[in-house]
Amino acid sequence: MAKIETRLFGFTHSGTPVNEYILSNPGGLTVSVLDYGAIIKNIIVPAKRGPVDVVLGHDTMQEYELDTATYCGAFVGRYANRIEGAAFTLNGKTYQLEANNGRNHLHGCFARKSYEVKAFGDTLLLEAESPDGEDGFPGNMKIAVRYTLTPDNAFRMDYRVSSDADTIVNLTNHTYFNLNGGGSVLNQRLKLFASTYLESNEETCPTGRILPVAGTPMDFTKGKAIGRDLNPGSDQTRIVGGGYDHCFVIDRPRAGARQSICAWATCDESSISMKVYTTQPGVHLYTGNYLQDCPSPGKGLHPMQKYDGFALETEHFPCSPSHPEFPSTVLRAGKVFRVSNTLRFFTGKQCGVI
């Protein structure tokens, strides 16, 4: 069974203490979580050359607060990804949201919240509330995030939210992965279990067209180096900063609470592999196209660079309120919205080949 240690990480600018919770299992996998933003600060994987921290982040609380752009490691909502025009209509009423990404709304306030934590066994339970009107959304929302580290090197993330009024919701985790612990991720390999994707416009919002990946740079169905098709690439990779920033529609979704595999990433240099499972209908691949603009340094005070990490944001589709043909993100009053994800890590001969 995993063990959990707690230590003070720092203080917010308002003086609120922030704790770091360190989960470790007998196999040597270690995950560090902050009670600010429910941030995944470290995932340290035992490898042949020694332990490798496979996620991006910062060394201090001040650096996390200064970084308002990348959402490194954070649990995000009320609405993960974008809402076009920072407004939506529900039950005949239009709600105006914070426009924090040009004219659009992006991710929301969950990444900036302090969470109450209960630690037991191999699990952390982080809880918070979002009052009616926060970021412009209706309903008082209760939030519960459960992180569990298993003996077989799996890290499970379960989310549960409810509201006392009809609202919309989309939840994800925004960890950036680098399975080599540093440098560019463009030579790391990725397979996505997705034969279609959402076409994007120049604001990184879906046009509404769901297109086949076959024969395009968006095709990861057989596995390939992440950067293989970026040069010359296509209009779709050009308009989002010369990389990927797209939602892929997961194949073979399973009904109910059962998870489906959506992604498999490997790094030959470190011999580390990661498989991602989710109950969500989509997975958003972002290749850190603007990480160089991060105002805070990364770990070890190293400035972040373009392509230093890739995010696999399991989610409902961006801008769903503008596209009734997409799976609904409406949460009715008194109902519960649940999401379940798992990251499973392998090393050495277990790594496999894509």
Residue 146, Cα to own-chain centre: how many angstroms? 15
pLDDT attached to residue 350: 58
pLDDT attached to residue 324: 94
Catalytic status, residue 65: no
Residue count of the chain, please give it. 354
CA-based nearest residue to 49, from 196, 235, 189, 181 = 181
pLDDT digits (tens, 9 = 90+) for 37-85: 999 999 999 998 899 999 999 999 999 999 999 999 999 999 999 999 9
**Average pLDDT rounded to a whole number, residues 21-36:** 96
pLDDT attached to residue 10: 98
Does an H or E element contain 236, and which?
helix 235-238
What is residue 306's three-state secondary structure? Answer: coil
What is residue 133's three-state secondary structure? Answer: coil
Give bridge partners of residue 31 from the DSSP assignment: 23, 43
- Please give the residue range of the domain that contains residue 23: 3-351
pLDDT at 335 over 60: yes
Contact between 150 and 333 under an 8 Å Cβ cutoff? The reply is no
CA-based nearest residue to 310, from 157, 190, 203 = 190
One-letter amino acid of 77: G
CATH number at residue 160: 2.70.98.10
pLDDT digits (tens, 9 = 90+) for 155-193: 999 999 999 999 999 999 999 999 999 999 999 999 999
Which of these is catalytic: 246, 313, 315, 316? 313
Q: Give the torsion sign (CA, 13, 19, 22, 23).
A: negative
pLDDT digits (tens, 9 = 90+) for 274-322: 999 999 999 999 999 999 999 999 999 999 999 999 999 999 999 999 9
> Taking the model in full, what pTM does it have?
0.96
- Compute the C-alpha angle 210/215/219, nearest 5°: 65
Proportion of the chain above pLDDT 90, given as a percent:
91
pLDDT digits (tens, 9 = 90+) for 114-128: 999 999 889 999 999
pLDDT digits (tens, 9 = 90+) for 254-278: 555 589 999 999 999 999 999 999 9
pLDDT attached to residue 234: 86
Proportion of the chain above pLDDT 70, given as a percent:
97
Which of these is catalytic: 58, 174, 246, 284? 174
pLDDT attached to residue 348: 75
Instruction: Kindly state the tokens that stand for 40.
Output: 């995944």
Catalytic status, residue 13: no
Q: What total of structural domains would you count in the chain?
A: 1
Report which DSSP code applies to 46. Answer: -
